Structure 1
Amino acid sequence: MDKDEEVHVRNWSGTYEYRAQSVEAPTTVEEVQALVARSPRIRALGTRHSFNDLADTDGVLVTTTEIAPEFAIDEERRVVTIGAGTRYAAVATWLTEQGWALHNMGSLPHISVGGAISTGTHGSGDLNGNLSSAVRGLQLVGPDGDLRWVRHGDPDFAGSVVALGLLGVLVRLELAIEPTYLVRQDVYKGLPWATLLADVPAVTSAGYSVSVFTDWVTDPIGQVWVKRRLATADEPVPDELAGAQRDPGNASQILESEDDNTTQQGVAGAWSAHLPHFRIESTPSNGDEIQTEYFVAHADAAAALAAVRELGPDIAPHLLITELRTIAADDLWMSTAYGRDSLAIHFTFKNDTAAVEALCPRIEAALEPFAPRPHWGKVNTVAPEVLASRYPRFADFADLVRRVDPDGKFVGRSTAGLLAAAVSA
């Protein structure tokens, strides 16, 4: 891509324009290796679903999304090997055809696996780890262009999964798989705010994966989407959830159009067709939106939600929707769920940069008592030194980065400040 073209490269929603000198899309791993070896500064770019400058660099951006998908299952180890640029939609479709499954999916199945893994992107479920927790091995192109595997059990593994692109260009992954399973999705309406705040776990544990949608001011809360893992397609489900009633139809338009939403009418089907919010076969249009998201300990969920709700009248005019989800704790050093079961408080804002930049500090101040960790790929105003303090293994991660990439080839705009915070700590 030449200079005249690359200046127009933006993220998925069109709200961020990349400033790299060029954006390259090699079609083989060998081409990635050659590009990395000859580039003084380089960063990996996924399907561009980040809303900030995390992936950006003053040098070269490289995407592996143009490398032909490759799939291989090791049934004995129960892992699938895939290309990092492959989208979850492709992986899920192929695995389902083979009789296998992943433990979880994000709401949008069209994101690249490598990008989601590197930023700690998640699905939902009290007992479900984020998407990164399924990783059993990573193949990276290092600063000299050489390939190396880091696998579960290796000393650096826990620091190498959610690595923000700082350890090299991720080209292949091994993910844990399990036999395919059925999921049914139901929508409940009429959940009172007081009921949710009185017992958050009673709601979030109602299914395998639960999402609560709110605008922070309407009471009762808009909708609760409950995805249940079933043994048989005709397994009964309750018509009531904490005072909310099950709606037999699809939800009203929360995500794009109803045609883009996965089936919500209590019909059981393959995990791949029901765990995401969006249909695999219907790629949503670019969203004219800005996203931000904060993770707090699940134990602090009620207090954190009550604190943010105080800002509801100021948030609502700029909001498209908020989604609340839960994620199980993991041991991945830079994961937003490291060491604590978490509640994710997600905001999809209207495309108004000034309004979002004004609201973020206020939301962050309300959540400050709960040590919120912002999503690595979404808009926030938390200072790098504060971010660093919220990750118990941050100093170890910074040491790992300096060991693997001593010349800082993979350090970008925002990650430079993050690593500098480790030095000054």
Structure 2
Amino acid sequence: MTDVGETWSGTHRFGARRLIAAQSVPEVQEVLRSRPGPVRALGTRHSFNEIADSAGTLVSVLDVPPAPRVLGGGDRVSVGAGIRYGELALWLEEHGLALHNMGSLPHISVAGAMSTGTHGSGDRLPMLADAVRAIEFVDAAGALQRVESDDWRFGGFLVGLGAYGIVTRIELAVQPSYRVRQRLHIGLDWGVLAERFDEVTASGTSVSLFTHWGSPSVERVLVKQRADASFDDSVLATTREAEPDERFDQRSWTPQDGSEGPWLLRMPHFRLEETPSFGEEIQSEYFVARTRAAAAIAAVRGLAAEIDPHLIITEVRTIAADDSWLGPASGRDSVGIHFTWARDEDAVRALLPRIEQVLAPFDVRPHWGKWHAFDADRIAAAYPRLPLARSLFRELDPTGVFSNEYLEALGVREAHTSPTGPL
């Protein structure tokens, strides 16, 4: 039995019996053809729960050469699924190209981000997977398959939770490179945020609010503005521009001093060459419609005395709607309310049902790859296109090779006996 290790922050120890670090797509195909029992794809381990685990074999494509290449008229690129966003961004910049957005961490893989609905921030910027135009994957029989965005089922492949195959290559829409400046404001009044939420989040290309819930004001507003666009940021006139917060190690953060720089060094929060975020942490995130943002934030503030003793920081971000079936912003412009917790597992597990209870009136959705307390019934209510996705996964993988306990507990896959073949 192989010790597969842990997730990035140590919040889950993998129980899979072996890990195969594939060096090529044919090697991935051979794994599936050998009928090894349950199989799941393992990416950069940036999930916080057991979503990527398997009772059998984990397959990583991080070591498959990514071989990026520009396609067609230069508005699309093809990349290996295991390439990290930060590495892809460097290659794109060398070719005068860019992505529409980046997540907070450039350390995550393209396929992992696509599969779990990873997003950045921006009123007009959908999740990262919205740039995907084609997907190649190895199916349960070991055959290499391809699906393109003109397939009516494509929305089910985008946030596929690893439930239909091992993704090996992805085509992404790109645009000409651009430059961004990033500024930090402090002291945004809660009342201003409640009354003028849309103006606050429209004050830049990407806006993130960082705070504790019992703070007398929103502690930090991080505004990223494209240099080729203009914004009305008068709503922030009552705040103060500030130097980066000395409480946090600034070596890991991208520049927040208002200086202009290339998109790949401003759109992510963290630098590729440094350890991101805070390290020993637990993360949770919940999504509500942007039209309900102010009321949802007020509801969570009512739990400030319970939340803040266990909270490292909260981040509030906006995400534009998309057409995926299981994405957090599927069908609605959304707001993500993110919690970075200190590593007190019992306290966090006790808090999550309380947070979910106060957010329930706002048709809340949880992040698939982070801690939550949803069961199958509430997942079904939160993601109305789940029956379509479940049917697609059943069609592509009828014996549940790519299923696991997490997906079955949430009703994403039906319970299966172990597929034919030794574990």
TM score, norm. by length of structure 2: 0.94
**Which stretch of the first structure deviates more once superposed, 107-116 or 35-44?**
35-44
- In structure 2, runs of 5+ residues without a counterpart are 416-423
Matched, 1:382 2:377: no
Change (3 A) 1:286 1:322: closer
Letter in 2 for 1:215: H
- Report if the CA contact (8 A) 1:42-1:61 is conserved: yes
Contact 1:395 1:422 in 2 (8 A): no
Q: 1:43 to 1:421 in 2, by over 3 A?
A: closer
Aligned partner of residue 86 in structure 2, secondary structure: helix
1:280, 1:202 → 2: CA distance? 31
1:240 and 1:253 map into 2 onto residues whose CA distance is: 26
Secondary structure of 1:82's partner? strand
For the residues of structure 2 that align with 1:275 and 1:312, how far apart are their CA atoms?
29
Match of residue 245, structure 1, among 235, 240, 260: 240
The answer to whether structure 1 residue 408 and structure 2 residue 396 are counterparts is no
What are the Cα deviations for residues 232-273 of structure 1, in whole angstroms up to 9, with x where unaligned? 9xx8996871521222x223334xx11111001111111001
Separation in 1, partners of 2:111, 2:247:
30
CA contact (8 A) 1:46 1:85 kept: yes
The reply to whether residue 168 of structure 1 matches residue 165 of structure 2 is yes
Letter in 1 for 2:247: Q
CA distance in 2, matches of 1:237, 1:183: 16
Question: Are 1:78 and 2:78 counterparts?
Answer: no
1:27 to 10, 17, 23: 23
Which residue, out of 309, 314, 319, partners 1:322? Answer: 314
Is residue 289 from structure 1 mapped to residue 306 from structure 2 by the alignment?
A: no
Cα displacement string for residues 195-228 of structure 1 (whole angstroms, at most 9, x for unaligned residues): 1111211111110000000110111211000000
What SS is found at the alignment partner of 1:258? coil
Query: Residues 46-70 of structure 1, C-alpha deviation per residue, up to 9 Å, x if partnerless?
Result: 1001111111111111111111221
Alpha-carbon distance in structure 2 between the residues aligned to 1:77 and 1:158: 24
Letter in structure 2 aligned against 1:71:
P
Secondary structure at the residue paired with 2:188?
Answer: coil
- Range 301-310 or range 29-38, more displaced: 29-38
Q: Conserved in 2, the CA contact under 8 Å of 1:385 and 1:421?
A: no
Aligned partner letter, 1:182: R
**Aligned residues of 1:191 and 1:242 also touching (Cα < 8 A):** no
Sort the Cα spacing of 1:421 and 1:323 in 2 relative to 1 into closer, same or farther, 3 A. Answer: same
Matched to 2:131, the amino acid is A
| Structure 1 counterpart of 2:39, one-letter code | I
C-alpha distance in 1, partners of 2:291/2:390?
Answer: 29
Cα shift readout 1:356-390 (whole Å, capped 9, x = no counterpart): 00000000000000111110000000111210122
Mapped contact 1:136–1:152 kept (Cα < 8 A): yes
Extract structure 1 runs of 4+ deviating beyond 6 A. 420-423
**1:48 — aligned with what?**
45
Residue type at the aligned position of 1:21: R
User: In structure 2, which of residues 389, 400, 415 is the aligned counterpart of residue 397 of structure 1?
Assistant: 389
Deviations 1:76-109 (A, max 9, x none): 1611111111100100000011000000000000
> What displacement does 1:175 show?
0.6
Determine if contact 2:25/2:168 at 8 Å carries over to the other structure: yes
Contact 1:107–1:123, Cα closer than 8 Å, also in 2? yes
Describe the SS at the equivalent of 2:251: helix
- Which residue is equivalent to 2:420? none
**Structure 2 CA distance for aligned equivalents of residues 369 and 376 of structure 1:** 20
- Once residues 201 and 276 of structure 2 are traced to their aligned partners in structure 1, the CA distance between those partners, rounded to angstroms, is 27
Q: Shift of residue 417 of structure 1?
A: 2.1
Aligned counterparts of 1:276 and 1:333: Cα–Cα separation in 2: 26
Find the aligned partners of 2:114 and 2:405 in 1 and give their Cα distance: 20
Cα distance between partner residues in 2 of 1:325 and 1:358: 24
**Deviations along 1:12-31, whole A, 9 cap, x unmatched?**
00121011111111111111
Gaps of 5+ in 1: none
TM-score where L is the length of structure 1: 0.94
In angstroms, what is the RMSD of aligned CA positions?
1.8
Conserved 8 A contact 2:12-2:48: yes
**Distance change (3 Å), C-alpha of 1:155 and 1:123:** same
Letter of the 1:22 counterpart:
R
Counterpart in 1 of 2:14?
18
Number of aligned residue pairs: 414
Q: Which moved more, 1:304-313 or 1:21-30?
A: 21-30
